[in-house]
Chains A and B, each alone.
Chain A
Amino acid sequence: MTATVPLRAEGVAPQATGPTLGARAVGGLLEPLIFIVIAMLVALAEYVVAGPIRDFPVSNFWLAFVLLALADAWTWPQSQTMMGTLTGQYIATTNGEAATPLVIAVRQLARFGVLYGVPVLALEFDLVWAVAIWLICGAIVWRTPGRRAPWDLVADTVPVTGIGAVGQVELPVLRSAADLQLDPRRTSQDAMAGRLMFLAGLVSVVISALIVWNIFREAWAFVAADEFSWGLLKGRGWFPRRGEFDVGTLLVGTLWVTGIAMLVAVPVGLGVAFYLSEYAPPRLRRFVKPLIETLASIPSVVIGFFAISFITPTVLSRLFDDIAFQSVLAAGVGVGVLTVPIIASISEDAMRAVPMELREASYGLGGRKVTTALRVVFPAALSGISAAIIVAISRAVGETMVVFIAAGLTGIFNTNPLDPGQTITGAMASLGAGTDEVAGSGIAFQSLYFLGAVLFTLTMLLNIVSDVIVRRFRQVY
């Protein structure tokens, strides 16, 4: 048994109310993004098939417009467009009938042309023309009664929030809440939203694939190059432009920086975590916690500057007489400052997750506060704490700017932390900073990707280890 349920009161002419401001905002953000994504996907396909594209064909965009206009006309139910299914908007003709697919196709094509085709034209010609066309369109909108959009004028349509006498839908008589699910307008909206969100989720997979593909392809090109031999990876130092790629130099530098950083960050970070989780009265906690967040929000370039303008001259030069202006030690301490908040916040979370009962049991047995903290809370939170330290190590290995500013970057093999040194990230940054000179000079430039592959693998392994530790040793209370 079915009954005819109009979405709007029967006989009422379509009202040009249009969607709400919020729905307009969603549409306004998503629609151009969809075009950019489609055009980029086409370009990526070309890139995978034919290699690097020197000149991005603008025709990709026109293709995207036509594709989406056709999809809008024939895919979506009930005279809706893709955005309409999200915003609850329908297209009606001016005499109050639901728009046919052909009318919708014309309207959408005109709409995409005006809204997005014009900026694409500007890419090819000049911004002045784009602005002029938009101004003319704006004037047309201004002059027409009801301020109708140019694309609605072209196709003679009106956007409405519901379709009246003509757009009646067959709906079952509602008996329970579940029957509401059968409303085709709402279910199509729902399905559309779900698909879009899944696509958004896939973006991160695409990014990962692109990272792995590009880095390892170029790294392979480095290893497979004619000038390359494995003997080059062992030498007097890291001098890519002279064809000397002693990776050992970089590994030693990275080890020093990471080790020094952990010497600084582990005690301080754990101290803060113990204080926040076990000792701090609530009032002080509210004061110390934002402080750690402040430290976390300081950009690494600023810490890099801090390392050579404060850490070396004010702190380290008092302890070590012969420290250089830029040194591995200063870079290590700077990276340590950066990683304190990581260790503090992850360890604190782990300690706070230890249930109160364990502490109470310890106190009940006569345990002191220090005993409870060190012998009960610490072991129970150990998996979280070690994960925190490993995440911090991974961050320290990958930290670039502090090293680039403060470590000095000489490629000479060096084990003295008081002298300038070079790390994996530092070497990558120096290669990257000189990108324009090295580009095309083949093997030196590709060593950048080789180092990237080493770094990517290293940090990925560390992250996996921390994940495994958390999962295997996590105690479920």
Chain B
Amino acid sequence: MALTEPTTSSRRGIDFEALKARRGADIPGQIFYGVILAGVAVAFFMVGAVVWDVIDKSWVIVSDRFWNFLTSASSSDPAKAGVVQGIRGSLLIAGIVFLSFPIGISAAIYLEEYAEDNWASRLIQVTVRNLAGVPSIVYGLLGLAVFVQSLRGITGGSSVLAGGITIAVLVLPIVVITSAEAVRAVPASLREGAYGLGATKWEVIRTQIVPAAMPGILTGTVLAIGRALGEAAPLLVIGAVGWYTTGNNDFLDQLQGAFTALPMNITYFARDVAEIWSPHAAASSLVLLLLVFFVNLVAIVARARISKKLGR
């Protein structure tokens, strides 16, 4: 029989339907697909359950006095307590973290554009990777030893300044790693074109690489802000308080005095075994989730606009 005439062929080629029918139903395949779908369903359920639970448990407050909850200070009376100090603390921390972005982005550009294969750049690379894996509470110990105790003169002890710097240190490796990825993804043609026109390295970076990597860098910085808003463990070690009743007026006092943040509020509300504060924990969780999602949304919109502007 000639090779050009396959036995199980119609005029169109191999008859896959017949082949499939001969093999019978793909039972292991069906089972495996079912297991995988179950995994996806559980992941969906997790997200849904968290959101539903937070909204459901906080409904007492959200439906009744949400604005009041957002704008009042902490109080020992469950009907009056609010989280305005927590929101203020979290936003201040996010602002301080923002200041560390130039350092992180510069380090990423150094690693991708300048670093030659010598011990100095390898050391930087290894330490950045290791720092990204250090648990957040260990950063709290660093903050306690250096920013709270040694530099008490600047930070005023357990203050939002100390907390903000600690969290800025914590998110620095995230910013470096994501920005480095963004810089690496810039096509070599852009670089070579600019060099070909006689640009110096710094000019190539300023006019080509940074603008082209901007969407990726933005994603990284937003991830970092989101992480900074939700991080509680270092603040706990540094000595942020769960809630306090005195109001600080002076801005410097606010930076150097006792402080709280949204995650700290949630922690102390949630740890109450009697569950009187359970709605408060849920409501502050809702506020935190809304903040994080809002930040992410801003990033998505900004990234889309920048990408459009770059014509990609």
Q: Is the CB of B172 within 8 A of A204?
A: yes
Q: Could you tell me the distance in whole angstroms from the C-beta of B83 to the nearest C-beta in chain A?
A: 13
Stretch at the interface among B60-68, B73-81, B125-133, B184-192: B125-133
Decide if A272 touches B40 in the complex (CB within 8 Å): yes
| Contact B43–A340 (Cβ < 8 Å) | yes
* Interchain CB contact under 8 A, B237 and A428: yes
Of residues 184 through 243 on chain A, the ones whose CB sits less than 8 Å from some CB of chain B are 186-187, 189-190, 192-194, 196-198, 200-205, 207-208, 210-211, 214-215, 218
- Selected from B137, B158, B250, B270, the residue in CB contact (under 8 A) with A308 is B270
* Known A193-B205, A310-B49, A455-B135: A177·B196 in contact at CB below 8 Å: yes
- Checking B130, B149, B231, B251 against A208 with a beta-carbon cut-off of 8 angstroms, the contacting residue is B130
A459 close to B135 (CB less than 8 A): yes
Q: Tell me, yes or no, whether B230 is within 8 Å of chain A by CB.
A: yes
The complex places the Cα of A394 from the Cα of B154 at a distance, in Å, of 34
Asked if A317 is at the interface of the complex by the 8 Å CB criterion, the answer is no
Q: How many angstroms between the C-alpha atoms of A127 and B263 in the bound complex? A: 30
Contacting residues, chain A, for B121 (C-beta < 8 A) = 201
4 residue pairs, one from A and one from B, having the closest CB atoms: A271-B39, A56-B153, A299-B230, A398-B135
Looking at chain B's contact residues, the main secondary structure is helix
User: Inside 8 A of A305's CB, which chain B residues have their CB?
Assistant: 54, 266, 269-270, 281-282, 285
CB pair B230 A309 closer than 8 Å: no
Decide if B124 touches A205 in the complex (CB within 8 Å): yes
Decide: A302 and B36 in contact? CB cutoff 8 A.
no
A-B contacts, 12 of them at CB < 8 A, read A55-B153, A186-B200, A207-B127, A207-B142, A268-B39, A268-B46, A291-B44, A297-B296, A304-B270, A305-B269, A432-B137, A462-B133
Complex CA gap A53/B155 in Å reads 12
Interface flag for A274 (CB, 8 Å): yes
A interface vs B, CB < 8 Å?
26, 29-30, 33, 40, 43-44, 47, 52-57, 122-123, 127, 177-178, 180-181, 186-187, 189-190, 192-194, 196-198, 200-205, 207-208, 210-211, 214-215, 218, 267-272, 274-275, 279, 288, 291-292, 294-295, 297-306, 308-310, 325-326, 337, 340, 344, 368-370, 373-374, 391, 394-395, 397-401, 404-405, 425, 428-429, 432-433, 435-436, 448-449, 452, 455-456, 459-460, 462-463, 467
Given contacts A47-B150, A306-B49, contact A204 B26 (CB under 8 A): no
List which B235-260 residues lie within 8 A (CB) of chain A: 236-239, 250-252
Q: How far is the CA of A190 from the CA of B200 in the complex (A)?
A: 7
Report the Cα distance A401→B266, complex, angstroms.
10
Q: Counting CB contacts under 8 A, is B94 at the interface? A: no
Chain A residues with CB below 8 A from B202, complex form: 186, 189-190, 192-194
> Quick one: which of B135, B198, B223, B288 contacts A302, CB cutoff 8 A?
B288
Known A193-B205, A275-B37, A432-B239; judge A301-B230 contact (CB<8 A): yes
